Structure 1
Amino acid sequence: MTAVATSMGLDFGTTNSVVALADGAGGADLLRFKAPAGDSAVFRSALCFWQDDEVKGGLAHEAGPWAIAEFLDFPQGSRFLQSFKSVAANSLFEAANIFEKRLKFEELGQIFLTHLRAHAGAPLRNLPERIVVGRPVRYVGARPDPALARQRYEAMFALLGREVHYVYEPIGAAFSFATRLTKPATLLVADFGGGTSDFSLVRVQAPDATQRCLPLGSAGIGIAGDRFDYRIMDQLVLPMLGKGGSYRSFDKVLDIPDGHFADFGDWSRLALMRNRRKLEELARLHHSAVDQAAIARMIAVVEKELGYPLYEAVGQLKRALSTQDEAEFAFDSPDLSIKAQVTREDFESWIAPDLERMGATVDEALAQAGLRADEVDHVFLTGGSSLIPAVRALFVQRFGESKIDSGEELTSIAHGLALIGGEDHLQAWTADEESAA
């Protein structure tokens, strides 16, 4: 790691965050953290809170892999939040209820950044003047508000005390990939995050060009790894928690509304379900449900914070099916036990509607750039979901196997953002909120 960094790239992701520092000589290094499970460049986008009278305000907290470790040590007395980035553009989200406190998005973000810097140690004690933060082409949600997300980001990153420049995440990945190329080429970057999938077309100039990468067009959609996780939850878990069941209302038997299970589709909302209003609502549903045992299991998932281990089991299955034709989904607790064999074909059928919408968004990016698929020289797949065979097949079908490249799936964006921070004309790369809205 260079002693004096000239710029910093921060990929603040839904699931993982990564930091890179540029050296001013055309190179950039990833910042590594000495995490509980071992040295890593990936810092999980997670927070854990617990009550402690000995700390100011009575609320202690941790972030990243240390938050996960704290939660696993003391799950019943903690509040665990993951993927809180996914509410950045949601106007309905006002604050998270953490014990007796209400924390806004920017307050959660500043707590996260404080811990990230503390665990980074010396490399982030003195920040470089140029800080470049990635943002999605399209934020998560049915009606995302990019201006609100920008406002919340500005408040969050004000903690760093530097001017922050925002660049589309796939453009960062494009800059990183361009370091592999020795001649001009047209590049499509497909960035699959936890909450969004973004696609950008870039013209990469020769290595000695004044401006190495020229943006041609972008498109994004709020479908990515988290949606795939929910498809597994919907098929294997939610039926055991009452979805598809019924309840009694006077002399009628009615279907339980799917709205009761909506929060299971977004980890950040699931982690916020443990509040008095929601638990009272579930208690009423339990009283009238035909299958009261199923609703009791759902209440246990909420009250006992089983969401984290449930999603870990989901993630393990998803990763296994990226390399195997069949795998076991296994979850076991005193309140809920599930075992099921799942084939890759099953999983691909569950996510088929999402893949179709992704494909349409790729076509939208091509149309915006005024390009045909055969005019693209390289396709760079990045992000965890790029490892899913059905996702890769989407691009092989359109562009051909020979054009597909991957690697550094979790770190390429931060690396590229740091390189962009060294550009003379940085403003040429910053995301325009009006054009993104």
Structure 2
Amino acid sequence: MRPAIGLDFGTSNTVVTACDSAGTAMTCRFGQGPEAVTSLPSVLCFLEPEASGGMPRAEVGPWAIRQFVESTGECRFLQSLKTFVASRLFKGTGVFGRHHDFEDLMEAFLRRASARCERPLGDGNCRLVIGRPVTFAGSAPDDGLAMERYRRALSRFGFQDVFFVYEPVAAAFAFAQRLDADATVLVADFGGGTTDFSVMRFSREGARLQASPLGHGGIGIAGNTLDYRIVDRVILPHLGKGSRYRSMGKELDVPPNLFSNFAHWHMLSVFKTSADYRELKKMLRACLEPEKIELFIDLVETDQGYPLYKAVSDAKMRLSSESETELRFAPLGAAFSARIGRTDFEAWIADDLDRVAGALDRTLADASVRDTDVDRVFLTGGTSFVPAIRRLFEARFGPARLSGGDELSSVAKGLALIGQRDDAADWSV
């Protein structure tokens, strides 16, 4: 068997798994000692050239976050790069006077991630298998553009064999290693930007695992969407959403679209240079509650988007085990505090869950599979911990058929295991 590397380049986190010629898969660590992580936050920070000795310096993961927080100079902080890959509207962004297209940003992230990783990504002797969602995130995603951008970025690393595999297929393959009997498996992969489904029939011929794909589907709703609901309900009213301004002798609502980019994490890195932001600043003098808009502008100017993202994401995580939690965010004021109940949160995301359920309906229908035909359901990805999501699957398939585990590493493990097979090309998109 050929050595392979599985790369799960995620919206929120990136995971790498290496599979040796004996078929042993090992999730790689980034960093050393107590700083080592196996799930690398998909963030990229460029330090201004003057502060880094004349050259822009890129950093990733927790080191990028530290550089962003501790630097006294200018930084360019980017997150959720994957969300831009299928968008024709994204033409690139400037970083200290130099234009970076998507491929440049992905290359910068992966090169620094490789330098931090115990297994460098540029080993040309290995086959590289990278995951891709069934449905890319965005309002009008272009799959062909996304794959073209991926290929151009990865071509800069010297790999001879590069395969693309649907992320839920990889997760299904990793889960199938546990099976002791033939089974029809539904995998629901809840990422940061997308929720993807895969239905597969697994069987064994001797020691060899055989699989038949029955259907795939997905939708651009996942963890980031649920975070947005909290920001929209709890944070944005303090920043001016729902307020009014005067124009031509009339009172009008401040356009809500001026706030949506701040609440969508992947847009934070480009919002400060956007036309929406410029319009908001021009509107300030006419606002009836200017103190709220001033606070909003201050948060943008001081790059508080990522700290807000962390505060909201952590609150959402606590709601998976608590019926109520407190959200604090000091930049909104030392006394700012909001109580969020799980019941409220579940009401806010109800329409999103209905759309996820609809995407699941379509996936099973396209696969000609009924609920009763599914033997096992594997829930993976960080958002699979949200109780309302788990209840959706329990109600439909029963708790006995549900499985979890390796929520952050199953995709990368499956990619690597597929990569070392002789028939790896048959699994690729």
- Find the aligned partners of 1:57 and 1:150 in 2 and give their Cα distance: 34
Query: Do structure 1's residue 92 and structure 2's residue 89 form an aligned pair?
Result: yes
Query: Do structure 1's residue 27 and structure 2's residue 31 form an aligned pair?
Result: no
**Residue in structure 1 matched with residue 311 of structure 2 by the alignment:** 313
- Find the aligned partners of 2:335 and 2:48 in 1 and give their Cα distance: 30
Shift of 1:33: 1.7
- Find the aligned partners of 2:294 and 2:73 in 1 and give their Cα distance: 18
Query: Do structure 1's residue 153 and structure 2's residue 145 form an aligned pair?
Result: no
Match of 1:296 among 294, 297, 307: 294
**Residue in structure 1 matched with residue 58 of structure 2 by the alignment:** 61
- Find the aligned partners of 1:334 and 1:297 in 2 and give their Cα distance: 7
**Residue in structure 1 matched with residue 99 of structure 2 by the alignment:** 102
- Find the aligned partners of 1:364 and 1:399 in 2 and give their Cα distance: 16
Shift of 1:43: 1.1
**Aligned partner letter, 2:41:** R
Q: Does the CA-based 8 Å contact 1:46-1:82 persist in structure 2?
A: yes
> Is the deviation greater in 402-411 or in 54-63?
54-63
Query: Does the residue aligned with 1:231 lie in a helix, a strand or coil?
Result: helix
Query: Does the residue aligned with 1:132 lie in a helix, a strand or coil?
Result: strand
**Residue in structure 2 matched with residue 435 of structure 1 by the alignment:** none
Match of 1:348 among 346, 349, 358: 346
Deviation sequence 1:289-316 (CA, Å, 0-9, x none): 1110111011011100010111111011
Could you say if the C-alpha distance between residues 10 and 230 of structure 1 is closer, same or farther in structure 2, counting changes exceeding 3 Å? same
- Find the aligned partners of 2:267 and 2:121 in 1 and give their Cα distance: 31
Could you say if the C-alpha distance between residues 35 and 222 of structure 1 is closer, same or farther in structure 2, counting changes exceeding 3 Å? farther
**Residue in structure 1 matched with residue 218 of structure 2 by the alignment:** 220
**Residue in structure 2 matched with residue 252 of structure 1 by the alignment:** 250
Q: Does the CA-based 8 Å contact 1:35-1:66 persist in structure 2?
A: no
**Aligned pairs (5 A) from 1:181-260:** 181-206=179-204, 208=206, 212-260=210-258
Shift of 1:321: 0.2
Could you say if the C-alpha distance between residues 334 and 192 of structure 1 is closer, same or farther in structure 2, counting changes exceeding 3 Å? closer
Could you say if the C-alpha distance between residues 344 and 37 of structure 1 is closer, same or farther in structure 2, counting changes exceeding 3 Å? farther
Q: Does the CA-based 8 Å contact 2:223-2:383 persist in structure 1?
A: yes
Match of 2:420 among 419, 422, 431: 422
Could you say if the C-alpha distance between residues 158 and 56 of structure 1 is closer, same or farther in structure 2, counting changes exceeding 3 Å? farther
- Find the aligned partners of 2:274 and 2:20 in 1 and give their Cα distance: 51
Q: Does the CA-based 8 Å contact 2:12-2:80 persist in structure 1?
A: yes
Q: Percent identity?
A: 43
Could you say if the C-alpha distance between residues 18 and 200 of structure 1 is closer, same or farther in structure 2, counting changes exceeding 3 Å? same
Match of 2:175 among 174, 177, 180: 177
> Is the deviation greater in 258-267 or in 368-377?
258-267
**Aligned partner letter, 1:309:** P
**Residue in structure 1 matched with residue 12 of structure 2 by the alignment:** 15
- Find the aligned partners of 2:4 and 2:411 in 1 and give their Cα distance: 14
Could you say if the C-alpha distance between residues 336 and 273 of structure 1 is closer, same or farther in structure 2, counting changes exceeding 3 Å? farther
> Is the deviation greater in 316-325 or in 205-214?
205-214
TM-score (normalizing by structure 2): 0.95
Q: Does the CA-based 8 Å contact 1:8-1:131 persist in structure 2?
A: yes
Shift of 1:280: 3.1
**Residue in structure 2 matched with residue 72 of structure 1 by the alignment:** 69
Q: Does the CA-based 8 Å contact 1:227-1:265 persist in structure 2?
A: no
Shift of 1:279: 4.5
Q: Does the CA-based 8 Å contact 1:204-1:214 persist in structure 2?
A: yes
Deviation sequence 1:179-216 (CA, Å, 0-9, x none): 10111000000000000000000111126365522111
Could you say if the C-alpha distance between residues 276 and 326 of structure 1 is closer, same or farther in structure 2, counting changes exceeding 3 Å? closer
- Find the aligned partners of 1:102 and 1:336 in 2 and give their Cα distance: 38
**Aligned partner letter, 2:71:** F
Query: Does the residue aligned with 1:181 lie in a helix, a strand or coil?
Result: coil
**Aligned partner letter, 2:419:** G
Query: Does the residue aligned with 1:170 lie in a helix, a strand or coil?
Result: helix
Query: Does the residue aligned with 2:136 lie in a helix, a strand or coil?
Result: coil
**Residue in structure 1 matched with residue 267 of structure 2 by the alignment:** 269
**Residue in structure 2 matched with residue 141 of structure 1 by the alignment:** 138
- Find the aligned partners of 1:336 and 1:293 in 2 and give their Cα distance: 16
Could you say if the C-alpha distance between residues 355 and 54 of structure 1 is closer, same or farther in structure 2, counting changes exceeding 3 Å? closer
Query: Does the residue aligned with 2:270 lie in a helix, a strand or coil?
Result: coil
- Find the aligned partners of 2:226 and 2:96 in 1 and give their Cα distance: 30
- Find the aligned partners of 2:179 and 2:354 in 1 and give their Cα distance: 31
Shift of 1:425: 1.5
Could you say if the C-alpha distance between residues 336 and 208 of structure 1 is closer, same or farther in structure 2, counting changes exceeding 3 Å? farther
Query: Does the residue aligned with 1:333 lie in a helix, a strand or coil?
Result: helix
- Find the aligned partners of 1:217 and 1:330 in 2 and give their Cα distance: 43
Could you say if the C-alpha distance between residues 334 and 375 of structure 1 is closer, same or farther in structure 2, counting changes exceeding 3 Å? closer
Report how many residues are paired. 428
**Aligned partner letter, 2:101:** K
> Is the deviation greater in 390-399 or in 268-277?
268-277
- Find the aligned partners of 2:69 and 2:53 in 1 and give their Cα distance: 24
Q: Does the CA-based 8 Å contact 1:230-1:264 persist in structure 2?
A: no
Shift of 1:98: 2.2
Query: Does the residue aligned with 1:32 lie in a helix, a strand or coil?
Result: coil
Could you say if the C-alpha distance between residues 69 and 37 of structure 1 is closer, same or farther in structure 2, counting changes exceeding 3 Å? farther
What runs of 5+ residues in structure 2 fail to find an aligned partner? none
Shift of 1:177: 0.3
Shift of 1:34: 2.4
Shift of 1:126: 2.9
Q: Does the CA-based 8 Å contact 1:134-1:172 persist in structure 2?
A: yes
TM-score (normalizing by structure 1): 0.94
Shift of 1:38: 2.8
